[in-house]
Structure 1
Amino acid sequence: MDPREVVVFGAAAVLYLRRRRRTLRFWVHDTLQDRYQFGEYHRLVQQLRLDDERFQRHFRLDTEQFDSVLSKVGPLIMMNSTNYRRAICPAERLAICLRFLSTGDSYCTIAASYHMGVSTVSNIVPQVCRAIWDSMVKEYMPVPTTEDWLSIAEGFYQRWAFPNCLGSIDGKHVVIKAPDNSGSMYFNYKGTYSVVLLAVVDAQYCFRVVDVGSYGRTSDGGVLANSTFGQALLDGKLGLPQDALLPGAEHLGPQPHVFVADEAFPLRHNLMRPFPGSNHSGRRRVFNFRLSHARLIVENTFGILTSQWRMYRGVIGVSPANVDACVKATCVLHNFLRRTSKTPTRATLPPPAVDSEVAGLQAVTGVGSNNSTREAIRVRETYTSYFSTEDAVSWQHRV
């Protein structure tokens, strides 16, 4: 190559790079310099601390709960100030994250309210969400032990009249913005893009196991099969209790402890689903109702979660990895609120309304490809007989 051509090419490359180079003119934009005087955290939030009820409506946590969470996540989200800029304190970082989870507002809206850059908010929210999960999961959503499973089973029998039940399982589609170059992987049967939250819920409306991040196109049964929980359930590595007698039915012999689910899940000896179809009478209709009576707990829990954290009510416009972090944070915060709320919960609840019962009995057709073993069929038939004889209750005939 001619030396003159090399010089011309080099000069053009330097000019191109200079044009592409982003010149950093300031650390903090002039319009954001007054954050400590007019930012939401330094004005509104401090005023809300004087009214606990308004503070709770704003963040979904009261002041005592906010400070409790802050003490757990604070060391993980603390940043050091430099000669160029002052670090955002952990309390303000937590406030920004909770505001996003509780409203679902865009990063732009929150950034304008808190007088900071959009990129700053976009970094804070997933970082704090991961810190909430890492610092609170062992206390508020630990891996259940055999004793924990037995306690859950006792709660389901006392509150929901289903013995040997270890939890209610279902999946929830969390609607997201279509990720770039993702094709139809996240496109679900509802016509939206989503990731799936698979959850096991106990009798107290608390999450005991969650699996987040499966593609929206995957069925609930497929999500279970691909999850760590589903593999452990299939391999018998969950530490489930040994088979136990059903109350008042010693002659039936020990029966396995089971999870309850809807028609989208397979029938197994430790996973009960209703009889398919809707034209049932007699014992099968009673079994479907009793199973639905216990299974609706997980749907009620999803309803509480959605009502509490309103990011679920819209399209979450962040990356799937950050969506997973936000979902896990709300689940562990849900358990935290259930266990620390000052409002007492009722010890027992009446049977669901007739409309809920009928809705729970409606079956989804087209799922007959699930292969059921003889042992699983035997267990379901045993429960079917038990609910119509030894454990029959008056309200199961209301439908």
Structure 2
Amino acid sequence: MDFEEEALLLLLLIRRRRRRKNRKLWVHTILETRNYNGEFNHLFLELRRDEEKFFNYFRMSITSFDELCNILKEKIKREDTIMRKSIPPEERLAVTLRYLATGQTFMDLQYSFRIAATTIGGIVKDVCKNIWMYMKDMCIAPLTEDRWKEIINGFMKTAQFPNCLGAVDGKHIRIIKPVQSGSAYYNYKNYFSIILMAVCDSNYMYTFVDVGSYGRHADSTIFEESTFYKRLLEKKLNIPAPSSISRNGPVLPNVFVGDEAFSLQENLLRPYGGKNLPEQKRVFNYRLSRARRFIECTFGIFANKWRIFHRPLNVDVEFAVDIIKAACVLHNYVKQRDGHKFEDTFEGLPNSIIETTQNIRRGGPMLTTVREEFANYFVSEEGKLDWQWNMI
């Protein structure tokens, strides 16, 4: 061993000893008091005495929290060791819900829950994964023919749009630029994002979600590459048979409604493009927007309940996808059990409408005819709304 190698080994040894010497505490004194002063142990029992305060804190009722905890308890619990006691499942779930509900960072939550930021990150990731894995089919269940008919009836009742299977759109979820990602996640709004592509019913609940596409991709591209769209083309979604929307009218397919970013297809309607449209087309666009607004409202309720989406997600892309999927499941879970409160919606809707028409197929004559039949129905005596003429 020559002199240079000896000097290098000595330097490494000095650095290693210096690191060991600088680490004064294995667990910081602030974090050692979790069992006494941590937010969960200090506040949780008090919140359970007030249903309204509990809902405001966790974004769900006491009953919903308990049921959720019972479902996940065996999946998220950890064993005690000779070094320390594990964090109980109830507290792990509480930390995760508080992270989603407030948008606080792991470092912020560290001081309130008295749990290390790295530990909180691991807890949130684990709980989010398990929420998606074990609750997806419960909260975003596969659609049967009876469920489709229920959705169709819902849109007819609330939006006066016949044969409507749901509203579809994409929402950009802001993220911190992933390392070495180039411009893949940079969207037309000039920030980095991944896309939540979703379909909803007239009760503001998700019936399909696709998460993780690059922010630079167009809505139509993401939708047409999804498993949902492929099953739609293969006729494997249990969609009811086409039916007439008017007395003695032609049989028309059941359709999803989307904005200008989507292409006109057999089971997907988009508005007429251009300016200075004739009255019939303007009425159609208005009636389509009344049905399509449900997905915009769903995104608004979603983001205002889980306010982690009010800021860029400062985690890696895989973790961000886990967070979004879990939040979508929780959105439906809470909506099914607790409904939604006005304060979840009054802050305004997210800007998620894509204005570009790039790579859009206009559709052939048959598809244009289907849209024209809907347009004819909306101006007929049977299908018109008294106030629609004042809205165009």
TM-score normalized by the length of structure 1: 0.89
* 1:16 matches 2:15: no
* 1:387 matches 2:386: no
Aligned to 2:183: 184
Distance 1:318 1:365 in 2: 29
Structure 1 unpaired stretches of 5+ = 346-355
Q: CA deviation at 1:363?
A: 9.8
Taking only the aligned residue pairs, the percentage that are identical comes to 37
**Partner-residue secondary structure (3-state), 1:266:** coil
Structure 1 stretch 365-374 or stretch 38-47: which is displaced more? Answer: 365-374
Amino acid at match of 1:146: E
Aligned to 1:397: 389
Asked if structure 2 preserves the Cα contact closer than 8 Å seen for 1:276 and 1:363, the reply is no
Distance 2:275 2:355 in 1: 9
Aligned to 2:89: 90
Distance 2:274 2:225 in 1: 27
Q: CA deviation at 1:25?
A: 7.0
Structure 2 counterpart of 1:294, from 269, 291, 296: 291
Asked if structure 1 preserves the Cα contact closer than 8 Å seen for 2:220 and 2:360, the reply is no
Q: CA deviation at 1:370?
A: 2.0
Q: CA deviation at 1:172?
A: 0.4
Amino acid at match of 1:321: E
* Deviation digits for residues 148-188 of structure 1 (CA, Å, limit 9, x no counterpart): 11211111112111111100000000111111111111111
**Partner-residue secondary structure (3-state), 1:98:** helix
Amino acid at match of 2:387: W
* Deviation digits for residues 290-322 of structure 1 (CA, Å, limit 9, x no counterpart): 111100000011111111111111111111111
Quickly say closer, same or farther: Cα 1:41–1:191, change in 2 above 3 A.
same
Distance 1:154 1:14 in 2: 78
Asked if structure 2 preserves the Cα contact closer than 8 Å seen for 1:100 and 1:110, the reply is yes
**Paired residues for 1:171-320 under 5 Å:** 171-246=170-245, 248-250=246-248, 252-320=249-317
Quickly say closer, same or farther: Cα 1:198–1:368, change in 2 above 3 A.
closer
Distance 1:342 1:383 in 2: 32
TM-score normalized by the length of structure 2: 0.90
Quickly say closer, same or farther: Cα 1:11–1:367, change in 2 above 3 A.
closer
Distance 1:363 1:259 in 2: 17
Asked if structure 1 preserves the Cα contact closer than 8 Å seen for 2:261 and 2:360, the reply is no
Quickly say closer, same or farther: Cα 1:15–1:204, change in 2 above 3 A.
same
Quickly say closer, same or farther: Cα 1:20–1:394, change in 2 above 3 A.
farther
Quickly say closer, same or farther: Cα 1:368–1:10, change in 2 above 3 A.
closer
Q: CA deviation at 1:226?
A: 2.0
Asked if structure 2 preserves the Cα contact closer than 8 Å seen for 1:265 and 1:273, the reply is yes
Quickly say closer, same or farther: Cα 1:277–1:364, change in 2 above 3 A.
farther
Distance 1:294 1:176 in 2: 30
Aligned to 1:47: 46
Q: CA deviation at 1:45?
A: 2.0
Asked if structure 1 preserves the Cα contact closer than 8 Å seen for 2:38 and 2:113, the reply is yes
Distance 1:398 1:203 in 2: 24
Asked if structure 1 preserves the Cα contact closer than 8 Å seen for 2:271 and 2:284, the reply is yes
Aligned to 2:346: none
Distance 1:338 1:395 in 2: 31
Aligned to 1:76: 75
Asked if structure 1 preserves the Cα contact closer than 8 Å seen for 2:185 and 2:215, the reply is yes
Q: CA deviation at 1:30?
A: 2.9
Asked if structure 2 preserves the Cα contact closer than 8 Å seen for 1:165 and 1:260, the reply is yes
**Partner-residue secondary structure (3-state), 1:105:** coil
Count residues in correspondence.
380
Aligned to 1:103: 102
Q: CA deviation at 1:255?
A: 0.9
Distance 1:344 1:108 in 2: 29
Q: CA deviation at 1:383?
A: 0.7
Structure 1 runs (4+) greater than 6 angstroms displaced:
342-345
**Partner-residue secondary structure (3-state), 1:394:** coil
Q: CA deviation at 1:337?
A: 1.4
Distance 2:286 2:221 in 1: 25
Distance 1:74 1:15 in 2: 49
Distance 1:212 1:343 in 2: 23
* 1:329 matches 2:319: no
**Partner-residue secondary structure (3-state), 1:196:** strand
Asked if structure 1 preserves the Cα contact closer than 8 Å seen for 2:198 and 2:208, the reply is yes
Distance 2:389 2:111 in 1: 57
**Partner-residue secondary structure (3-state), 1:259:** strand
Asked if structure 2 preserves the Cα contact closer than 8 Å seen for 1:278 and 1:363, the reply is no
Q: CA deviation at 1:386?
A: 1.3
